[in-house]
Amino acid sequence: MASILVLNGPNLNLLGTREPGIYGAATLADVEALCQATARSHGHTVTCLQSNHEGALIDALHEAGRAHRAGELIGVVFNAGGYTHTSVALHDAIKGTGVPVVEVHISNVHAREPFRKHSCLSPAAAGIVVGFGVDGYRLAIEGLVARARNA
């Protein structure tokens, strides 16, 4: 049984209270429960990690790359929050590890402020899910499962 890493970046610990008109009422705990249930329904496990610190996210991606090479991990679902638009270091970590990453955004970032339209991560991502609310995490997990099955 391979695992999936669900990685959440800065301010996602505020889900449920941060701009509910944009991000909805679901909390990070709700997102994690959704991810656990989705992975379990496909015979996989999930590890969830949230950090407001870029270096911790990079370290998690490095470890995910090692686990992927060992056949223990099928991929990463990654909502990098604001780092999406600024972090070359996260882009390089994704590229450098070779782990399949699905970039997730709860809101439709393309319908928001101009700075949110650019992603440093998208060119390195295996796929992108945007604008489906927290259900995007479920879609991303299902995408990773299908990708692993077809590999």
Catalytic residue positions, numbered? 23, 105
Name beta bridge partners: 102.
77, 127
Q: CB neighbours (10 Å) of residue 27?
A: 16
d(CA 67, CA 94): 13
Nearest to 15 by CA among 41, 57, 40, 48: 48
